[in-house]
């Protein structure tokens, strides 16, 4: 069946340029990400083209579809179209700075859309990527036998619910707008307050308020020049004519109250536009339900609809893109009613559970995340699954930083981070801008080639259609500040992106040192290990180690404000990288690393699992919050189904990677490079 789809694609792409061919492939192969990667990979096999040329049909088969239309493979004609299926994309939640521009320009699943040599397969494109070995992810906790399975075949297979500050799992279960609390009535103005203005003065002030007055201000002479009289006039004008400001001026020995618009005509065209009841909290808190969308992308969408700056929103953490996620968001002085109206026009986003509070949300305030994950097409027996899940519930997994922390390109983010910490700014520029092997967009290839040839930032910048990628921002900085002021030029990148590089280096050091520690001492506390007492690290004595669990031990991320285990090899590792462990402060304050402590082993809570069987791979196997609100039935599992899946639930603390828990269950390398190789081997 897959071969038929490839044959149709071959017929349709004859005579087209490579870029046109890829666009046609996206149409023919549809929006199913997993199937699309497989079919494009098959299409790129050069040995297949000879056979296809012999079998070429005399007429093109008509399979024209509109861009963005949901489309299955040709053999699925007539069947119901599956729910919207996005392209696979690496997760930026905790990791690498994105080097992409707008999503619409992204090739499917990260493969280059132009500029690759004929016949290069997706596996060839990814051969320069990282594996777990490259970032220090080496060991497992348990010795059970692993098994294979497909993670995130559909984005609805990965569901994340935030656990808020109170320890409650956040759900979207109410779309209603809260009733407004009764506001205390404003005190009625005293009769004498109203009488201080004449009818003619009120008329002029009214015209000024509505911008009907040709003058920019109205002057009222104070006949009885006393402070009490002037105060009454100021109060009466401001009370009766919102949006008007007053001041006292002296002209030719006489005093006047001058009324005027403080912020000008544009800002006060609607005087009560920014009215906010005093008894209402300044921040509207709500639950954001999103499908297949990054947290920042979702906030940018809300910002555009509400005409706000994105920094008006606050949240406790970012969530995966390729997933269904539920989290709390807060926004300053936007009513629940306005937010609720957005539900009529938003795609893959829903807002609800509105309430008003007097505080925003802060990063890191959450207690963790609750995951519901489906791994499809598992090969393990029920006994293997039981053994794996029992182990992770009882013992846990090594708390490695996941692969998304380090990027998927030929130049890992930790290398850039190491160059920053070494103050080697020429290497920072070189690593980001030099030509690199692997899959990239054609315009990035041209940009890198121009930089390598001319070292001219303006010339290289002209090769980029969109300047918002990391390369574009760095080149713009070099163009503005010159190549001798790289630190300032690098500062053109958003602060979070810049810090991701150095945090990535810290993470690979932590991963490496934890693997070495487990190799040396196993999964038990030993003399010289660290534990936290409050927020302070304490070095264990031999006697203390006897009564301490491995689950309580921590390892430090390198920095100037941490201590190290007495048995550590941090100094040797950092020295080999050209860094001084005793001097982790940087000339640029942003890159001075204080360090932190991280638990070696994490034991998930609220763990449950079941092996389910199903027939239709297109149906969702998790009942989402939105489906419950829509009163849609829960998925029904067929006990005699031809496919098997593992459905698991667990909760993890913040900054812990669910993919590392899944790695422990399946015993597989979670890197894109390795998964691609495994999929290619299976396909062949």
Scanning 268-335, the segments in alpha helix (DSSP H) are 295-306
pLDDT (tens digit, 9 = 90+) per residue, 448-468? 999 999 999 999 999 998 777
Average pLDDT of the chain, as a whole number: 79
pLDDT (tens digit, 9 = 90+) per residue, 574-601? 999 999 999 999 999 999 989 999 999 9
Instruction: Tell me what percent of the residues of the chain surpass a pLDDT of 90.
Output: 49
| 19 pLDDT more than 70 | no
Widest distance between CA atoms in the chain: 105
pLDDT-derived band at 251 (thresholds 50, 70, 90) equals: confident
CA 337 to chain centre: 27
pTM score, two decimals?
0.68
Q: What's the Cα-to-Cα distance from 60 to each of 5, 13, 40, 63, 68, rounded to whole Å?
A: 13, 10, 19, 9, 22
The SS3 call for residue 113 is coil
Note the pLDDT of residue 636. 86
- Kindly name the residue from 294, 320, 529, 625 that is annotated as catalytic: 320
pLDDT-derived band at 278 (thresholds 50, 70, 90) equals: confident
Beta bridge partners of residue 652, listed in sequence order: 369
Its sign, for the CA torsion 28, 32, 38, 44, is: positive
pLDDT (tens digit, 9 = 90+) per residue, 166-221? 999 999 999 999 987 544 444 544 554 556 788 888 888 877 777 665 567 888 88
The closest of 682, 662, 635 to 152, measured between CA atoms, is 662
Note the pLDDT of residue 5. 54
pLDDT (tens digit, 9 = 90+) per residue, 320-330? 888 999 999 99
How many Å apart are CA 444 and CA 446, to the nearest integer? 5
SS3 content of the chain, % helix, strand, coil (to 5): 40, 15, 45
How many Å apart are CA 639 and CA 641, to the nearest integer? 6
What is the mean pLDDT of the segment spanning 417-422? 95
pLDDT (tens digit, 9 = 90+) per residue, 346-390? 899 999 999 999 999 998 899 999 999 999 999 999 999 999 999
Give the gyration radius of the chain's Cα atoms.
Answer: 31
pLDDT (tens digit, 9 = 90+) per residue, 103-140? 333 333 333 333 333 334 444 545 567 888 989 999 99
pLDDT (tens digit, 9 = 90+) per residue, 536-552? 999 999 999 999 999 99
Spatial CB neighbours of 98, under 8 Å, sequence gap ≥ 6: 92, 469, 470, 497
Note the pLDDT of residue 156. 94
| 54 pLDDT more than 50 | no
Residue found under tokens 């990667």:
37
The closest of 392, 529, 472 to 101, measured between CA atoms, is 472
The SS3 call for residue 63 is coil
Its sign, for the CA torsion 421, 425, 430, 433, is: positive
Q: What is the set of domains in the chain, with CATH numbers? A: 132-153+371-399+603-681 (no CATH), 165-179+276-366 (3.30.70.3160), 199-269 (3.30.1370), 423-493 (no CATH), 501-599 (3.30.2350.20)
**Is 320 designated active site?**
yes
Scanning 84-131, the segments in alpha helix (DSSP H) are 122-125
pLDDT-derived band at 88 (thresholds 50, 70, 90) equals: very low
pLDDT (tens digit, 9 = 90+) per residue, 292-303? 998 988 998 999
């Amino acid at each position: 069946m897959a071969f038929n789809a490839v044959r149709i694609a071959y017929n349709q792409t004859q005579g087209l340029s490579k870029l046109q061919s890829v666009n046609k492939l996206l149409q023919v192969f549809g929006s199913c990400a997993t199937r699309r990667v497989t079919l494009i990979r098959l299409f790129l096999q050069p040995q297949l083209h000879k056979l296809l040329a012999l079998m070429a049909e005399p007429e093109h088969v008509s399979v024209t579809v509109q861009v963005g239309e949901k489309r299955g493979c040709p053999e699925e004609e007539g069947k119901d179209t599956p729910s919207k299926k996005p392209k696979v994309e690496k997760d930026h939640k905790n990791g690498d700075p994105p080097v992409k521009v707008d999503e619409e320009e992204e090739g499917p699943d990260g493969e280059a859309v132009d500029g690759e040599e004929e016949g290069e397969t997706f596996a060839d494109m990814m051969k320069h990527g990282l594996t777990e070995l490259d970032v220090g992810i080496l060991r497992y906790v348990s010795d059970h036998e692993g098994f294979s399975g497909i993670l995130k075949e559909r984005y609805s297979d990965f569901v994340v619910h935030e656990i808020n500050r109170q320890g409650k799992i956040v759900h979207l279960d109410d779309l209603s707008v809260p009733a407004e609390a009764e506001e205390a009535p404003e005190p009625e103005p005293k009769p004498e307050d109203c009488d201080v203005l004449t009818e003619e003065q009120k008329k002029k002030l009214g015209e000024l308020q509505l911008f009907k007055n040709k003058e920019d201000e109205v002057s009222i002479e104070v006949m009885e020049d006393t402070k009490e009289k002037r105060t009454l006039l100021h109060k009466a004008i401001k009370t009766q004519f919102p949006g008007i400001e007053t001041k006292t001026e002296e002209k030719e020995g006489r005093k006047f109250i001058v009324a005027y618009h403080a912020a000008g005509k544009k800002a006060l065209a609607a005087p009560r536009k920014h009215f906010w009841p005093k008894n209402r909290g300044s921040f509207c808190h709500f639950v954001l339900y999103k499908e297949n969308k990054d947290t920042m992308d979702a906030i940018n969408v809300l910002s555009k609809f509400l005409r706000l700056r994105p920094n008006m929103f606050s949240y406790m953490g970012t969530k995966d893109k390729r997933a269904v996620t539920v989290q709390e968001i807060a926004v300053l002085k936007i009513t629940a009613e306005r937010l609720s109206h957005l539900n009529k026009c938003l795609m893959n986003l829903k807002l609800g559970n509105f309430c008003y509070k007097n505080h925003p949300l802060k990063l890191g305030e959450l207690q963790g995340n609750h995951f519901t994950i489906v791994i499809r097409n598992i090969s393990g027996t029920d006994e293997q699954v039981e053994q794996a899940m029992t182990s992770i519930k009882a013992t846990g997994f090594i708390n490695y930083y996941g692969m998304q922390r380090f990027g998927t390109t030929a130049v890992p983010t930790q290398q850039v981070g190491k160059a920053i910490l070494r103050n080697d700014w020429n290497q920072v520029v070189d690593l980001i801008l030099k030509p690199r092997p692997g899959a990239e967009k054609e315009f990035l290839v041209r940009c890198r080639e121009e930089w390598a040839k001319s070292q001219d930032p303006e010339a290289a910048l002209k090769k980029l259609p969109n300047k918002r990628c990391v390369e574009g921002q760095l080149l713009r900085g070099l163009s503005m500040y010159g190549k001798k002021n790289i630190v300032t030029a690098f500062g053109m990148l958003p602060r979070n992106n810049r810090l991701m590089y150095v945090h990535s280096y810290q993470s690979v050091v932590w991963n490496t040192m934890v693997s070495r520690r487990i190799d040396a001492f196993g999964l038990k506390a030993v003399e010289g290990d660290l534990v936290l007492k409050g927020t302070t690290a304490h070095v264990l004595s031999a006697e203390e180690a006897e009564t301490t669990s491995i689950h309580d031990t921590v390892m430090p991320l390198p920095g100037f404000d941490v201590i190290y285990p007495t048995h550590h090899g941090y100094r040797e590792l950092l020295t080999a990288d050209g860094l001084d462990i005793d001097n982790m402060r940087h000339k640029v304050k942003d890159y001075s690393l204080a360090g932190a402590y991280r638990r070696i082993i994490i034991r998930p809570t609220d763990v449950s699992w079941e092996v389910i069987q199903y027939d239709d791979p297109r149906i969702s196997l998790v009942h989402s919050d939105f489906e419950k609100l829509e009163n849609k039935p829960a998925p029904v599992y067929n006990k005699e189904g031809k496919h098997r899946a593992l459905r698991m639930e667990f909760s993890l603390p913040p900054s812990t990677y669910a993919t590392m828990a899944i790695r422990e269950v399946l015993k597989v390398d979670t890197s894109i490079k390795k998964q691609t190789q495994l999929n290619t081997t299976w396909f062949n």
